[in-house]
Structure 1
Amino acid sequence: MMRNATVAGLLFLGVMPALAETNNFDCNNALTQAEMDSCASQAYEAADAELNKVYKQVVAAMQAKDKAGPQANGDSGSALEALRQAQRAWISYRDRQCELAGLEARGGTMEPMLVSSCLARLTRSRTKQLKQILLSSER
Structure 2
Amino acid sequence: MRPIFVVAMLALFCVSPRTAAAQDCETSENQMELNLCAAEALEEADTRLNTAYRAIESRLTGEDDLKQRLRATQRAWITFRDAECRFLNANAEGGTIFPMLESQCLADITSERADKLEDYLVCDEIDMSCPVPDAQ
Band the TM-score falls in, shorter-chain normalisation: 0.7 to 0.9
Contact kept, 8 Å, 1:44 with 1:119, in 2: the verdict is yes
RMSD: 2.4
Instruction: Tell me the percent identity.
Output: 36
Match of 2:35 in 1: 37
Structure 2 unaligned blocks of 5 or more = 1-11, 124-132
Match of 1:58 in 2: 56
How far residue 63 of structure 1 moved from its aligned partner, in angstroms, is 2.2
2:17 maps to amino acid: P
Structure 1 unaligned blocks of 5 or more = 1-11, 67-76
Q: Which has the higher helix share?
A: 1
Match of 2:119 in 1: 132
How far residue 16 of structure 1 moved from its aligned partner, in angstroms, is 4.1
Match of 1:115 in 2: 102
Distance in 1, matches of 2:13 and 2:75, equals 22
1:126 maps to amino acid: R
Contact kept, 8 Å, 1:44 with 1:116, in 2: the verdict is yes
How far residue 19 of structure 1 moved from its aligned partner, in angstroms, is 4.6
Distance in 1, matches of 2:92 and 2:30, equals 16
Contact kept, 8 Å, 1:61 with 1:134, in 2: the verdict is no
Among residues 91, 96, 104, which one is paired with 1:104 in the alignment? 91
Structure showing greater Rg: 2
Q: Which runs of 4 or more aligned residues in structure 1 lie more than 6 Å from their structure 2 counterparts after TM superposition?
A: none
TM-score normalized by structure 2? 0.75
Alignment deviations for residues 70-122 of structure 1 (CA, whole Å, 9 cap, x no partner): xxxxxxx8111111110000010011111122213121111111100011001
Aligned length: 115
Contact kept, 8 Å, 2:86 with 2:102, in 1: the verdict is yes
